[in-house]
Structure 1
Amino acid sequence: MDFEEILTLGPECRESFLTQQDIPELKSQEIKIAGISRLKPPYVVSRKDPDIHTLLFTVRGEGILTTVDDRQTIGPNTLTVLRARQPYRFEISSDSWDMGWMLLNPMPEWSLFDNAEQEVRPCFQSVPIYHLFSILHHEIEGAAVARQNVLNQIISYLNTALLENRENRRIRQLELFYTHLDEQLHYPWTVNALAKKIYCSVPHLHRLCQQAFGRGPMQQLTWLRMEKAKQLLLQTEWSIQEIASRIGYADAFNFSTRFKKSVGVAPSHFRALKGALQ
């Protein structure tokens, strides 16, 4: 692929900038500029020979990264690392894409980029960094000490994200994914769908889940469902059928069978414990 200098920014895109003029504290960290982007199609950025390092912190939506050697999906909770003097192109591939970003001067302070790969990494810190950028934007007219405190927290998160080894990043991403999965227990998940969501193969997902939880992917999902079922049985008056539907079981019988196998008693008997303990 021949890389060109391209910037395509659709009319519905929204961007907030953090410049050294507005945030003087950026200069000491060799951060040329940073910002928050809330994007809609079309959106394309292509660079032939960039003279700065670029970091993208994606929190929602998806994009596509194209480099000399590869083509990768940019998904939520990721850090995209783009080293200076290496061509790249990234573009939106979903209905929307929300991210924070930083452009770093290639100075000794950022020497860890000298041999960095152009890649999309799982990044547990993307969401807090994104929100800290927003706070920093609101502090443009605020006190210098407040801006410096926010910037220090951003740099701390960034160093953690950049120095964490690949395997630990994957496990952190997996833990975060299953935390969010608690909000979609009703969905008819399959192991293939889980693997696709976390951008890895099914065998790799099995290995990561065993490392992180001591269970397989579907066993961890079942554990989450049973934990949620116990909460709902004790804290609501909903029927067994309604609870079953809310956590992903089509009928009460299948749910009750799974619950008894996992917990040791039927859902109705477990709920009765609530009355016995009161």
Structure 2
Amino acid sequence: MNDKQEKYEISESTHQEFVDQSHVLAFQELGIVQCGTATCRDFFSVYRKNQQKHMLLFTVRGKGWLESGACRYILEPGSCISVPAYVENGFGIEEETWQIAWVFLSSDKKWNNVIGSEVTYSLTPAAEVIASCIHTLLRSISLPIDLGGKIAIHSVAQIETIINAPIPQEQSRNSIRLRRVFDNVQKQLHKEWNVKELASLFPCSEPHFHRLCQQYHSHSPMEHIMRMRMEYGARLLRSSDWSIQHIGEIVGYPNAANFSTRFKAWSGMTPRQFKKSAPA
């Protein structure tokens, strides 16, 4: 990268937003210079030779890359890479669409356990959360000042908490990827999932995905989804007034009799009995 000058190559299809100390006065006291989000498409790359701020770069969706010196990192969903100020670096899109969130931190402040002397890469469950906090902060600016100010205070506090949180205990990449697959399933429990689709989200072969589920969950992929469906169905039975038919449809069983049979095998009670057994 020594032959490269600072440059930005960003397609018109990329959408990005940011807020800085001119928008959020609390940022200056906290040492946050800027934060933002971007959905990168087509082509997107940035090279910086003399970056004067620390950078935290979170990947929410898709994949990207970051190079610094002789090191190249692949940034996958759930990753956070920290780049100290004055460290030459370049980063860009690896897949068709790459969603990121970033926070620039002042180099005048000490950031213990946040920024070291070298580039660090980790996997974290906070990537989507910090992106959501930044989105809320961005949207709050358009609200009436009293309401927007109250919401902004909470969003800034959440961003600060995530930045300064202790580094989570290291988890294996396989366990984090597996959790990410089933997080996607949780959002679409009504869908007819199969092992081929699950393995493609990991990504890996179907036999390998089956072995990973046995290793981390002690049962097969489809059994794990069945348990997820039953647990979510149980919560809905206890917390909602929806019909058993509707709850079955939500968790992937459009046939009410099929849902009842599976639920009784899982809980020992029919959905109706389970709902009646809820404490008043």
Q: Give the alignment's TM-score, normalised by structure 2.
A: 0.68
Evaluate the alpha carbon distance shift between residue 119 and residue 177 of structure 1 in structure 2; reply closer, same or farther with a 3 A threshold: farther
Q: Give the length in aligned residue pairs.
A: 243
Question: Is the Cα contact below 8 Å between 1:41 and 1:95 reproduced in 2?
Answer: yes
Aligned position for 1:133 = 134
Note the C-alpha offset of 1:152: 0.8
SS in structure 1 at match of 2:91: strand
Evaluate the alpha carbon distance shift between residue 226 and residue 208 of structure 1 in structure 2; reply closer, same or farther with a 3 A threshold: closer
Structure 1 distance, partners of 2:193, 2:213, is 25
SS in structure 1 at match of 2:96: strand
Counterparts of residues 61-72 of structure 1 (less than 5 Å): 61-72=62-73
The answer to whether residue 40 in structure 2 is matched with residue 39 in structure 1 is: yes
Counterparts of residues 26-105 of structure 1 (less than 5 Å): 26-105=27-106
Select the structure that is richer in helix.
1
Between 1:86-95 and 1:166-175, the stretch displaced more is: 166-175
Q: Give the alignment's TM-score, normalised by structure 1.
A: 0.69
Cα RMSD, aligned residues only: 4.1
Note the C-alpha offset of 1:71: 2.1
Which of 168, 181, 184 matches 1:180? Answer: 184
- The AA in structure 2 aligned to 1:181 is V
Structure 1 distance, partners of 2:160, 2:212, is 33
Between 1:61-70 and 1:176-185, the stretch displaced more is: 176-185
Structure 2 distance, partners of 1:154, 1:104, is 12
| Structure 2 gaps, min length 5 | 234-243, 254-260
Structure 2 distance, partners of 1:72, 1:91, is 11
Note the C-alpha offset of 1:154: 1.0
After superposition, what is the alpha-carbon deviation per residue over 1:199-232, rounded to whole angstroms, capped at 9, x for unaligned? xxx79x959954xx4x2xxx3523323325766x
Question: Is the Cα contact below 8 Å between 1:25 and 1:147 reproduced in 2?
Answer: no
SS in structure 1 at match of 2:86: coil
After superposition, what is the alpha-carbon deviation per residue over 1:173-212, rounded to whole angstroms, capped at 9, x for unaligned? 6544433234476233499756547xxxx79x959954xx
The answer to whether residue 145 in structure 2 is matched with residue 157 in structure 1 is: no
The answer to whether residue 19 in structure 2 is matched with residue 10 in structure 1 is: no
- The AA in structure 2 aligned to 1:18 is V
Evaluate the alpha carbon distance shift between residue 206 and residue 118 of structure 1 in structure 2; reply closer, same or farther with a 3 A threshold: farther
After superposition, what is the alpha-carbon deviation per residue over 1:12-69, rounded to whole angstroms, capped at 9, x for unaligned? 1112120211111111111111112122121101112322111122222221222224
Structure 2 distance, partners of 1:169, 1:14, is 29
Between 1:114-123 and 1:89-98, the stretch displaced more is: 114-123
Evaluate the alpha carbon distance shift between residue 125 and residue 268 of structure 1 in structure 2; reply closer, same or farther with a 3 A threshold: closer
Evaluate the alpha carbon distance shift between residue 225 and residue 69 of structure 1 in structure 2; reply closer, same or farther with a 3 A threshold: same
Evaluate the alpha carbon distance shift between residue 227 and residue 158 of structure 1 in structure 2; reply closer, same or farther with a 3 A threshold: same
SS in structure 2 at match of 1:149: helix
Structure 2 distance, partners of 1:53, 1:237, is 48
Evaluate the alpha carbon distance shift between residue 267 and residue 4 of structure 1 in structure 2; reply closer, same or farther with a 3 A threshold: same
Evaluate the alpha carbon distance shift between residue 4 and residue 100 of structure 1 in structure 2; reply closer, same or farther with a 3 A threshold: same
Note the C-alpha offset of 1:148: 2.4
Note the C-alpha offset of 1:101: 1.1
- The AA in structure 2 aligned to 1:124 is P
